[in-house]
Chain A
Amino acid sequence: MIVGFSSSIHKKYEGSTFQLLAETVSKALDMATIDLKDIDGIFYTVLPGVFDGKASLHFSSFQIPSFLGIKPKVIELVEYGGPSALTMVYRAEKLIEVGEINTALCVVGGKASFLRENKVTVDAVDRFLGNVQLTPYDDLFRVYQDLNPVSDYALVAKRHSKLFGTSDEQRALIAVMQRKNALGNERAMYKTPLTVKDVLESRVVSDPLRLLEIVYPVDGFHVFVVSKHQRKSDLRPLKVEFYGESHWSEMPPELPDIVYTPAVESSNGVNLERIDAFQLYDSFTITVMLQMEDIGLTEKGKGGEFVERTDITYQGEVPINTGGGSLNVGQPAFMSGGVILEEAILQLNDMATNHQVKDANRVLINGIGGWNRGHSVTMVLGEGNV
């Protein structure tokens, strides 16, 4: 069960990435009342260029536990990008179940400001760091001008509109309702009310996606402590009630169509009737719409109509991204899995002050990530009551 968690989010953190990590780990361990010596598993993720601007750590599996002073039995690097945090918690729980370990630390984050200041993203880190190849086919498509991942999701949004008649206003509604959720969230960076007009009047970054539909990369970490022992933790004994993952390995042009995500498969078999709130990966407004469709909240192509007739705020009939999502909290190190997982835990523990969903007993979290939406993880957290 999850016995502790914490987050540290900064627009720009001046200290080292390790320092920021250590602070966040300490807060999570304090909540869990667990010592360093009791941690026998570490799950973590790192993206190129977001650990103090270095392309990667040499043996991150050594450097991270070494700095933190942890001597685990199990170390696992989960490289799904966005949904990594969800997978870490699931795998930690599984290893605890079979008795391999007792207590695991799950770590997601890093510093994104370094790339942001140099006007690149992790999908363009090759343009800044020398001698980095993103794929085996770089010489065939890195010759073009793109703004990935923004332009990649713009291609999806454009095609979604062409195929299904989805309007810019409909996508903007997602940003507007998520902002309503953010107004009461002390963790949110953006807390001024937003209208559809504001979204539509914001600068077009990559047609049709506008500035207010795009996540802001920040510095930060999320840490989750999963343990067999509840100790003094006041948190509800949450379990992973449903878990699915799916990985589509095609380059986007080679997918059957770009308007589908692997969430179609990772969510296969989940019972939506029993879900009280949804945390859907929100790197962009279109990402949220794709998941609404792919997990089955509405039919493929009907995401636009769905948000027109459904109140998705925390007080609404289908609460989605109840803390405002990463569109409003910011995206630490280009991965939002920690943001949506933390919000789910807050909701389930009645800790979401001013944005609490009434009677939240079961929350669905869906993470999307990796190279161009290659990975999807669907997870339901609850107490396991039937």
Chain B
Amino acid sequence: MFEEIKKKYQEMFGNEKLPYLKCTRCGHSFYYPRDYCPKCRSRELEVRESRGVGSVFSMTKFRDRDNKEIYYGIVELEEGFRMYANFIVPVEIGDMVRVKFLGKESKVPFFEKI
């Protein structure tokens, strides 16, 4: 089940869709894959597609080894879950952002400002 969920996530990334997990028993939404609900222990979980729209919960910026500025932080999605991500452009806490997939072979969800 755990491996299945992870596979499903990768498939959805490949199709530029942002997945999350929804517990159909208690309604809890979360992003980091588990094959049981950490709120109610249910195994009745669905991988759903997020609209990919949310707001910046927190962010930081730093320079990488090539002196490029990196914007890293936490995004709170409309569906009620939060995830770590890099931002494509500088953002501030509270800014509205939308997912954008980067990478050729395996795609990764980044976020850009709306």
Contacts and interface: CB of A to CB of B under 8 A. Distances in A.
B14 interface: no
A347 B49 CA distance: 57
A151 B62 contact: yes
A258 B73 CA distance: 12
Contact of A158 (B32, B85, B93): B93
Interface string A252-275: 111000100000000000000000
Interface string A157-200: 01100100000000000000000000000000000000000000
- Chief secondary structure at chain B's binding surface: strand
B36 interface: no
Interface in B63-106: 64, 70, 72-74, 81-86, 93-94
Interface residues of A, number: 29
A258 B30 CA distance: 16
A146 interface: yes
Contacts of B33: 136-137, 140
Contact of B31 (A136, A208, A253): A253
Interface string A140-154: 110111110011001
A147 B33 CA distance: 23
Contacts, number: 79
A158 B84 contact: no
Contact of A206 (B30, B61, B81): B61
B58 A156 contact: yes
Interface in A212-268: 251-254, 258
Given A253-B83, A254-B82, A151 B32 contact: no
B60 A145 contact: no
Contacts of A209: 60
A140 B30 CA distance: 13
A207 interface: yes
A205 interface: yes
Contacts of B53: none
Contact of B86 (A137, A139, A144, A204): A144
B113 interface: no
A77 interface: no
A144 B94 CA distance: 21
Contact of A146 (B31, B72, B83): B72
A208 B94 CA distance: 17
B74 A253 contact: yes
Nearest to B59: A158
Contacts of A144: 72, 84-86, 108
A208 B34 CA distance: 33
11 contacts: A136-B33, A137-B33, A140-B9, A143-B108, A146-B84, A154-B60, A204-B62, A253-B31, A253-B74, A254-B31, A258-B58
Given A144-B84, A155-B74, A208-B60, 15 more contacts: A136-B32, A136-B33, A140-B32, A140-B83, A143-B108, A146-B72, A154-B62, A156-B58, A158-B60, A159-B58, A207-B60, A253-B74, A253-B82, A254-B81, A258-B57
